[in-house]
Structure 1
Amino acid sequence: MKTQNKVTRRDFLEKMPPLALGIVAGSGLVSSALARSTAPSADEKKFVPVMVTPFGTDQKIDYDHVSRLIDFYLAAGAKGFFANCLSSEMYFLSEQERIDLTRHVVKHVNGKVPVVSTGSFGDTLANKALFAKKINDTGVDGVILISSHFAEKGESDAVLMQHFEQFFALAGDMKLGTYECPSPYKRVLSPEVFKFLVSNKNMIYHKDTTEDIAKIEEKLAVAKGTQMELYNAHAASALKSLQKGGQGMSPISGNFYPEIHTWLCKNANNPAKAEDANWIQAEITRMEPLISNSYPLSSKYFLRKRGLPVELVCRAKGKMITPEQQLVLDKAHRTFLDWCSRLGIEAVKA
């Protein structure tokens, strides 16, 4: 934070060129977490699912089904995992469950692709840092910070950056990311805040929920040539964000038809597939409000139709799916199979 006699780290960093800060292309999630024999090329677009959490009828996490779900995502082409996120019902998990679930995902994935997990829970910055260290100790490739966990709704960006800076000092050296989670409220990162975050070489990941391609482009301009990778959560702007330089996509519809998002990531910049890419973008945009009703329970219903034996159990709101919504989801499933037929995709058999 700024005083009359002291130049802050933020003031100094804003005057420094990226190379002087150690911010270089290829030092982000791909190269730091995927320096493996199976690592994709730096310009490959990646589908990273925001994982749902299978529960048993006793409301406990069903870890066998978590494992089956991971295998399903991988078979569908997932290039990473976001465990312990809003889709995972993280606000309805205990602190220990958040840690145990993350550790299980890391262990089952076994280094095939990166795993990130939310780590900014706690009523003080010190407690947030302690919990972040616990999540980091599970072996994740990045600890995700919810933007609205670091400032109240009415507080300024200056306060937000000050709190981030204090957290960084407490957290030590770990790979970090940000997530504009809609809960407790959606705190969209301004270009100024995003520039400040990108100046920290440990910041490697950003999940964007602005639903605004202009704001995404502003962030991509700041992140260009740095270690920061942007993943778009908004299905309707997925194609444009990939074409503008976004690293990948993480929409909730990835819990319904992950193969479609894998295809879009693979073909977003393929001129030979431009017509199909524009067509499927319009289709997933049209479908999004239909499948979002009663989410995440609606995704579990859809996954059951696909052969995954997950229970129709959630801890979050939306405890049941109406017969009318079942008909909508049944039709959506048939539509998905039609998409696969047109695009030449083989739907994964769970």
Structure 2
Amino acid sequence: MINKKIEGIVPVMLTPYKEDGSIDYASVERLIEWYIQNGSDALFAVCQSSEMYFLSLKERAELASFVVQHVQGRIPVVASGHISDDPYSQIQELQAAVASGADGIVLVSNHLDPRNQGKEVFLHNLQFLLDKLPNDLPLGIYECPAPYRRLISDEELMFLANSGRFTFMKDVSCDLATVTRRVKLTQGSGMVINNANAAIAWDAMKAGAKGFNGVNTNFHPDLYKWLYTKGNTNPEFAKELANFLVLSALSESYGYPVIAKMYHQRLGNFSTIKSRTYTGNIYEKVWAVEPILDKVIEGTEYFRTKIKAMA
């Protein structure tokens, strides 16, 4: 059994770009430091929030390596970049992630069953990859919504948990009953469930989910960290904070990941808000986006001040 676990507050990393569209590694470095300073327990590099479907294999490999090198072992780093349906291309992608030195490699569920054919196809393709990956390297499974959300069945989950190869799951079911059931199913297996849905974040934590792994870790990982580690000590304040985090997460619909990049540009972490995934003109929505972002920042600072006063 692999004992290393990825749990707690695990931000899904953004990818900043320069004006010419290339990856801005100076901004990546500032972002890494911001994540760590704000209580992150691990980092998930080269994921959907990283715009992995719009990065070349070379870019994905270099980005994962850069993150690992600059974290310098302070917290664990997991990486994916698993975007192909062809099994041999997947091997190339995952081996590039392995070569980065990441502490864990994340497989994407829909690429194990590209046509949604069911358990047999999923397990066959999974075993093909497991046979090619180092058996001492922790693995994760991610129910990435793109190109389609392929949820893991209970039987498939138990195969993963009992294999001894998987240490965590990024749950994208967005359903508290499912998260709760999965926590019970994997109890004692060495595999943990990390919820990614802000609407159920606090309830999922209370049900045994090991932290939070959603997109709003790009705004206030420290607030999720307080909720995860200290929420039970002050349930009334935890409820108030959880309600704010639910409302704040609605900002995603206003053009994520660009709205998160706008936030980091304000902080001085990013030089631009360029994105390869957001095809609309964010400035056409600026009348709505700026006030929404202002409210997220205002609420974040309010709760940070309250938490500091309680310390």
Change (3 A) 1:345 1:85: farther
Which residue pairs with 1:13 in the alignment? none
CA drift of 1:302 comes to: 1.4
Amino acid at match of 1:240: D
Structure 2 counterpart of 1:193, from 134, 156, 162: 156
Whether 1:336 and 2:297 are equivalent positions in the alignment is no
CA distance in 1, matches of 2:297, 2:123: 44
Q: Deviations over 1:255-298 (max 9, x none)?
A: 11222112112113x3x311111111111112211343100000
TM-score (norm 2): 0.93
CA distance in 2, matches of 1:234, 1:344: 26
Which residue pairs with 2:273 in the alignment? 312
1:46–1:248: 8 Å Cα contact kept in structure 2? yes
Matches within 5 A, 1:127-166: 127-166=89-128
Structure 2 counterpart of 1:96, from 42, 47, 58: 58
1:117–1:142: 8 Å Cα contact kept in structure 2? yes
CA drift of 1:172 comes to: 4.0
Amino acid at match of 1:175: P
Matches within 5 A, 1:52-63: 52-63=14-25
SS in 1 for 2:53: helix
Amino acid at match of 1:315: R
CA distance in 1, matches of 2:271, 2:189: 40
Q: Deviations over 1:56-110 (max 9, x none)?
A: 1111001011000000110001110000001000111000000000000000000
Q: Deviations over 1:186-244 (max 9, x none)?
A: 01111111001111111112101111011111111121112212211101111122122
SS in 2 for 1:171: coil
CA drift of 1:114 comes to: 0.6
SS in 2 for 1:204: strand
Amino acid at match of 2:274: V
Matches within 5 A, 1:90-239: 90-173=52-135, 174-239=137-202
Q: Which runs of 5+ in 1 are unaligned?
A: 1-21, 31-44
Which residue pairs with 1:10 in the alignment? none
Which has the larger displacement, 307-316 or 137-146?
A: 307-316
CA distance in 2, matches of 1:103, 1:345: 39
CA drift of 1:170 comes to: 2.6
Amino acid at match of 1:193: E
Task: Give the percent of matched residue pairs that are identical in Structure 1 and Structure 2.
Answer: 30
CA distance in 1, matches of 2:124, 2:162: 14
2:85–2:114: 8 Å Cα contact kept in structure 1? no
Amino acid at match of 2:164: K
CA drift of 1:331 comes to: 2.4
SS in 2 for 1:267: helix
**Could you say which structure has the higher helix fraction?**
2
1:239–1:281: 8 Å Cα contact kept in structure 2? yes
Structure 2 counterpart of 1:280, from 241, 251, 254: 241
1:153–1:185: 8 Å Cα contact kept in structure 2? no
1:54–1:313: 8 Å Cα contact kept in structure 2? yes
CA distance in 2, matches of 1:121, 1:289: 27
The structure 1 segments of at least 4 consecutive aligned residues displaced by more than 4 Å after TM superposition are: none
SS in 1 for 2:201: helix
Whether 1:300 and 2:264 are equivalent positions in the alignment is no
Which residue pairs with 2:5 in the alignment? 29
SS in 2 for 1:74: helix
CA distance in 2, matches of 1:243, 1:213: 10
Q: Which runs of 5+ in 2 are unaligned?
A: none
CA drift of 1:306 comes to: 2.9
